[in-house]
A and B are shown apart, each in its own frame.
Chain A
Amino acid sequence: MIKKVLIANRGEIAVRIIRACREMGIETVAVYSEADKEALHAKLADEAVCIGPASSSESYLSMDRIISATIITGADAIHPGFGFLSENSKFAELCEQCNITFIGPDSKVIAKLGNKQEARNTMVSAGVPVIPGSTEAIYDSRTGAQAAQEIGYPVIVKAALGGGGKGMRVANTPEEFEHSFQTAQKETQMAFGDNTMYIEHFVQRPRHIEFQILADKYGNVVHLGERDCSIQRNHQKMIEESPSAALSEELRKKMGEAAVKAAKAAGYQNAGTIEFLLEKNGNFYFMEMNTRIQVEHPVTEWVTGIDLIKEQIRIASGRKLPFTQEDIKLNGHAIECRINAENPAKGFRPSPGTITDMYLPGGKGIRVDSAIYSGYTIPPYYDSMVAKLIVWAKNRREAVQKMQSALGEVIIEGIDTNVDYQYEILNRPDYLSGDIDIEFIAENEEALREALQ
């Protein structure tokens, strides 16, 4: 069993991991940058090592310094948290070479799943559905129309060298195809000096549904149900919940099985997440696999009763999973709101600064994972997420009410936060009814702004 863990991260996730370790009787080592001297994780851990200046590249991303801190403090494992080095296969490999247990999957698996094409190929051969697309480069609209027919409308025409939305056009019907293709190709030629096109099924207004899985070293893989993370702003998740209002028991089973298949195909170990896009008609497609613990893991913990961080440590220590798929039951409904130090009225500009006063809600079914305290100064160098508010109730309606109630109690003085913005999201009729997709924020932006004034 692991005896001492170095947490190669900061903020609330570092605090979360320290707490799990402490409960397990495992000693903890925090690492911190010069800007994080007063950070909660550095104070809370049994030992703390300063690993460099404020800039992440010289501290939380500095592999050699983190490895050195591990060796010096005699820790036998590193928990990478999320972000920073958590999905860096080279870092995982370094840990392996130094006999340090990396709490996460094998470095080779991280590398494989981190490569978009390789990950897609792995899924295709495992029979996990991926977004159908043309297999060869397409140069003319006739060949393109044929491919589109096989793929199924609506389709999106993309530049092979694409990026930034340039050279992208949607065609909803065969009639529209010719025009869309020509326009996209012309744009592509202009932007990239190339006319190689690629056609893919266009997933319309999907939900972001992800499945949490746990896999031990003995080939046992279970999924812990889904999380609906459709409430996103610029691809940044804001609110996550479990279970999703969109999944029937049957669909959950189907997607869960696909997730388990995906994890097995990748040779996965430890906790991971398979992200899918879910269409209104119930079709779902593999997007990517995250090879780390995720921000929104608490909602899964609450509906399954499983402590994911502790399971990660147990799996890394070589323990067998203590449950099977049949043991996993989703109970009630959990919602998480990310609380960020940012100003929604000013384009969500980060708002670092000193928290002069603070009050956080509590009570039955309310959990706060945070790294802030009264008098704490949020440094400007890192992510603006400073806390997560998670609630649980026996159904979605009650959970939303509880979240609203809890958000209404949050007081954080001295900095700007998105708490009121979150409160208004929960007030939107579409949110209440559960009819959400990834366009939700974009579509409700105006209404939210008005509600805030």
Chain B
Amino acid sequence: MKLDNVFKKTRLSSGRKGYISLSSARPEVPEGLLRKCNKCGSAIIAEDVKNDHYICPKCGGYFRVHAYRRIEMVTDAGTFEEWDTGLATPNPLEYKGYEEKLGALRAKTGLDEAVVTGKAQIDGMEVVIGVCDGRFLMASMGEVVGEKIARAVERASKERLPVILFACSGGARMQEGIISLMQMAKTSAALKRHSDAGLLYISVLTDPTTGGVTASFAMLGDVILAEPKALIGFAGPRVIEQTIGQKLPKGFQRSEFLLEHGFIDGIVERPQMKETLAQILMLHKQGNIEAEHSDDRDDADGNTGEARDQNEGFGKLSVNNQLASGWDRVQLSRMNDRPVGSDYIRELFTDFIEFHGDRYFADDKAVIGGIALFRGMPVTVIAQAKGTNTRENIERNFGMPSPDGYRKALRLMKQAEKFHRPVICFVDTPGAFCGLEAEERGQGEAIARNIYEMSGLRVPVLSVIIGEGGSGGALAMATADEVWMLENSIYSILSPEGFATILWKDSSKAKEAADVMRLTAEDLYRMGIVEEVLAEPSPYTIENLKEVTRVLESKLERFLSRYGKMSCDELTQRRYDRFRKL
């Protein structure tokens, strides 16, 4: 039965033709009650947006947040103390109408300039915070913005506090011309001094971060976070499109694009921003093993490291199965269900936070790196990452790092050095990725650079080979104070297949190769390449991972306490000697 237009409509009482309401209050949506989401276009109730971190309840898109609201959202209530208000904005170009424009903006927004700076607490930890406010000339950086940031950073350096800057800016302020350009140098220089003083700077990029701000303070964080889908770039997308005459791909210059290209450490959803900042601050608050151990450097047991070495070094061969052949071990080291790097991170550490990107080209998923706590002590953890299934393995390129992976590892190691954190590496790679792109971006250079820099790293470095230790790709994360191996892991100049190909021109002779290469933990231990060999249960899977990590954990603790006591010079000298004698 079709019911279209079959029913009679309401008959209005006689004389009423339409109507004029008696009350003057006609139904209407009052100003400000509803807003239109600029992302998905739907109407949303303004209060819902305010109550939910200024996120559209329909599409999850982010609205821009005013500076003071942002400070409220990420700091402890009532702890913010504002600094440097009321600085006069100059008009160096005597640009017509500039003062009037500023006056009008001040009246409208209640802000005195485009950035708010000051001191606050996050979970009780003191920080210096600066937040750009896009309502004020798109938070472009003129002299006052540069000055406020520089002053805040300088004061943070003096008070030895971490700095957090929330960037949101169109770039340099055109109206102030070359003076604006100089703010890029001023802020960057202040941050350089802050960093040289061994202090932390977290940069948070929000929509939009472009131009001279991207090309200065925004990109200089020890840790760079971004909000989802924020526009981040140097040249604006429209300018690029006009210049090159091409349409830009979807998602170009968004946070996700930057993450993929290695320029940010992570994307953090707004509701999690405060806890993420707190976690990073916490991981940097403790630390400084040098300072902690400086008192007992000439420690009571009176032994120098070397003396101890003779007593107990190279005395820890603990294997369950001495009969397995080289080839057996090769196969065991490649077993699909063997625990992988991420399993060890989860099992041995707490509060792990992963950081991404090499800051040059990409984020290599074959390497996982970040900071975590080991028994309360912050450490930098880096693992060559195989996957636990085929899909994950494809994503992680079967644990074969690209140059970007080594550069990410190095970046995190240099950061560990800055903050005096020990570095713990888990090695598990068939070898560095062998491919066109890898060569284009300098695979050899990346490996060399890692070996070179690691040899002089002024913090303790430990490498544990948990599976395959394939050639230079492994050494680039194993130029360490000590290298340990799991019983059925291998470490060699090349894969047995490669070895057979080069020497015998026949890759099918890999089995024979494995037996002559001396690539087992036992061989390497006897040759003095590794210091410890850890026994494995058989078969070794995630189920009994704890049997290994329990031993690893107590050995790790001993390693950290022993090497943590050494001076930086002693550490690097020993590391130098370790390889010098081979």
- Hey, which bits of chain A sit against chain B, CB under 8 A? 3, 21-22, 25-28, 38, 40, 43-44, 46, 63-65, 67-68, 70-71, 74-76, 94, 97-100, 373-376
Contacts and interface: CB of A to CB of B under 8 A. Distances in A.
A38 B2 CA distance: 9
A100 B27 contact: yes
Contact of A25 (B2, B3, B10, B29): B10
Interface string B19-38: 10100011111100110000
A67 B29 contact: yes
Contacts of B29: 67-68, 71, 98
Nearest to A91: B45
A65 B43 contact: yes
Contacts of B45: 63-64, 94
B10 A99 contact: no
Contacts of B16: 3, 25
B242 interface: no
Give the size range of B's interface with the partner. 20 to 34
A68 B1 CA distance: 32
B158 interface: no
Contacts of A67: 29, 34
B12 A25 contact: yes
B27 A71 contact: yes
Given A3-B19, A64-B45, A67-B34, A76 B10 contact: no
A157 B45 CA distance: 43
Contacts of A100: 27
Contacts of A373: 1, 3
A119 B29 CA distance: 31
B13 interface: yes
Contacts of A376: 1
Contacts, number: 64
Nearest to B21: A76
Nearest to B7: A44
B44 interface: yes
B9 interface: yes
A246 B13 CA distance: 45
Contact of B28 (A21, A28, A64, A98): A98
A46 B10 contact: yes
A142 B44 CA distance: 54
Nearest to A73: B27
B25 A99 contact: yes
B36 to A, nearest CB: 10
Contacts of A76: 21, 26-27
18 contacts: A3-B21, A25-B12, A38-B3, A40-B3, A43-B6, A43-B7, A44-B7, A46-B9, A63-B45, A64-B42, A68-B29, A74-B27, A75-B27, A76-B21, A76-B26, A76-B27, A98-B30, A99-B27
The 10 nearest A-B residue pairs measured at CB = A43-B3, A375-B1, A25-B13, A99-B25, A100-B27, A64-B43, A46-B9, A22-B10, A99-B27, A27-B10
B4 interface: yes
B43 A68 contact: yes
B238 interface: no
B96 interface: no
A99 B28 CA distance: 6
A331 B12 CA distance: 33
A97 B44 contact: no
